Chain A
Amino acid sequence: MPVTAEVTPLEENRVRIDVAVSDDEVRRKMDRTVRDMAKNMRIPGFRPGRVPAQVVLKRIGVEAVMQQVLETNLGEWYASAVQTAGVRPIDDPEVDLGELGEDGVSFSATVKLPPTPELGEYRGLEVVRDEPEIPEGALDAEIDRLREQGARLEVVDRPIAEGDFAVIDYDGTVDGRKLPAASTRDLLVEVAGGRLLPAFSEGLTGVAAGEEVTFGLDYPDSDQRPELAGKTVEYTVRVKKVQAKVLPEPTDEFAAEVSEFDTYEELRADIQRRLDEAAERIVTERFRRRAIDAATAAATIDLPEVMVDRRVDQILADTARQLPQGISLERYLQAQGQTLDQARAGLRVDAELSVRRELVIEAIVDAEAIEVTDEELEAKVRADAAEAGRDADRIMEELRKAGMLDQLRQDMRMERAVDLVVESAVPVSAAEADAKEKIWTPDKAGEAAPAAGAGQLWTPDQPGGGQGGEK
């Protein structure tokens, strides 16, 4: 290991890391730096990029090279020292440079660590569980959607009505001149279907097959086609065919056509089941989140501002990365009518909550000594690989190379901690929770001004500090 790190705890969740970089690591980096510098150097007698390292070193001096070495490598050394030391800094370090020379570099970095939350109750929390809710008519809407998909067009012998399809030829003229851009043959259009201009649909309504109709259409000045903008176009439309959309009747044949089910009843039941499942999932997800939130609320954390700031930065950076190319974050926020500062302020609350949640879950992992064995880890990777249809061994190898296995292990640990909280949580209905809230309110007020009697009554549920005062 080219870098050794020694951790000394300081007050207020801070530690000093004394880092020593070995001499051959320093030499290697110096060599590299000199070679890099030589690439861009012009020295008389040498073609650019052909300057020998020794000449460069003599020319610019060891100190200057050292400076450059630090500039490019301090971060890397620091990062590996942090990893060796196994600490997780939450902010940029304060670095004190110590000895600098070809025979090794040493420096000390003082960093802040995340606070250790004081866990409250996290098992057996009472958490509101909503009733699964399926919106009224969701089933019928889904069926209608399927019927819409299976719709057929049938030729009808009647004037066009709204919702009909028509095959038309049309010619457009502006000021008596024909416009080739506004002429088409055998076009299938849906009348009042949203694709046609409303005025065009209106002009077509009531015309029967074989008839011809002429009407004018005003284009607004803002139209994107310059030859049409601000003009009135005279359209002559011949209707060739009128077709009505026929939705299939909800029968067993229809079911067989659009799904793998043989009868309409089965299809209906399946849709109902899927809706139920979706609703159940939402409820479970909400329950889960509330359970974690309750555990988080029960814990006390002295959260440093920088952690929240960092999280906000991270969220913004993630957002920026997801934007399409060529759009900067500033532009995106502008489009949303926000300045950067407003966006930051808006994100702060969420960011703080998520940081708190994570700290609490990590603390639970520690408190419960949750461990994930290598076998479990591998099983998880294999399961994921199977789901993604990829070779498990390859993925395993990739993860190991990228050093992601530990990350994954930590994720799994945290997930188990969450599971623990959620499984032990006691579901209560919203109504029950409301009722409880009302009963408990006076007692909460009582806590603030502890009367001897009330204090005694509630002792078991109160934190230890309250009792200590009375004894």
Chain B
Amino acid sequence: MSALRDDIRRCIVTPVISEKSFQLVAAHNQYTFRVLEHAHKTMIRQAVEELFDVTVTDVRTVSVKSKPKRRGYSRGVRPGWKKAIVELKPGDKIDIFEGA
């Protein structure tokens, strides 16, 4: 496998496990991932198709804003991250969402 291919697959960081992401799976066959900040929709589509052997019909991305946080006198920010919502061909499934 080429170095390029390796790189593409690494752009998927982790599945997002939450009430919302589970709702999307159930309602629209959309799976949510945390992806690298520089990943673009094409990369994500290729990565998901390779990793899970499915057909992607749509990719939407969201830049989750960083939030300022404060605890006492110490200030800081929570890092922002990129979220990708991937819609699969009807009937396709990704197993890791069948549980955490």
Contact = CB atoms under 8 A, between A and B. Distances in A.
A55 interface: yes
A58 B99 contact: yes
B19 A58 contact: no
Contacts of A43: 17, 100
A55 B18 contact: no
A55 B18 CA distance: 10
B19 A46 contact: yes
A52 to B, nearest CB: 6
Contact of A54 (B16, B19, B21, B98): B98
A388 B94 CA distance: 66
Interface in A33-91: 43-47, 50, 52, 54-55, 57-59
Interface string B3-25: 00000000000001111011000
Interface in B81-100: 98-100
Nearest to A45: B18
Contact of B18 (A46, A57, A58): A46
Chain B contact residues: helix, strand, loop or mixed: loop
A46 B21 CA distance: 10
Nearest to B20: A45
> By CB atoms of chain A within 10 A, which of B19, B98, B100 has the most?
B100
Contacts, number: 23
B98 A45 contact: no
Contact of A50 (B19, B21, B99, B100): B19
A58 B16 CA distance: 15
B17 A45 contact: yes
A52 B16 CA distance: 14
Contacts of B98: 54
Contacts of A47: 19
B19 A45 contact: yes
Nearest to A52: B22
A238 B100 CA distance: 91
Interface in A215-247: none
A377 to B, nearest CB: 54
A414 to B, nearest CB: 56
Contacts of B99: 54-55, 57-58
B16 to A, nearest CB: 8
Interface in B51-100: 98-100
Contacts of A45: 16-19, 21
Contacts of A58: 99-100
A217 to B, nearest CB: 73
A22 B16 CA distance: 37
Nearest to A47: B19
A52 B44 CA distance: 27
A140 B99 CA distance: 87
Nearest to A46: B19
Contacts of A50: 19
A382 B99 CA distance: 58
Contacts of B22: 52, 55
A59 B19 contact: no
Contacts of B100: 43, 55, 58-59
A50 B18 CA distance: 10
Contacts of B17: 43, 45, 55
5 closest cross-chain pairs (CB), A and B: A45-B18, A58-B99, A58-B100, A54-B99, A55-B100
Interface of B: 16-19, 21-22, 98-100
23 contacts: A43-B17, A43-B100, A44-B18, A45-B16, A45-B17, A45-B18, A45-B19, A45-B21, A46-B18, A46-B19, A47-B19, A50-B19, A52-B22, A54-B98, A54-B99, A55-B17, A55-B22, A55-B99, A55-B100, A57-B99, A58-B99, A58-B100, A59-B100
Interface of A: 43-47, 50, 52, 54-55, 57-59
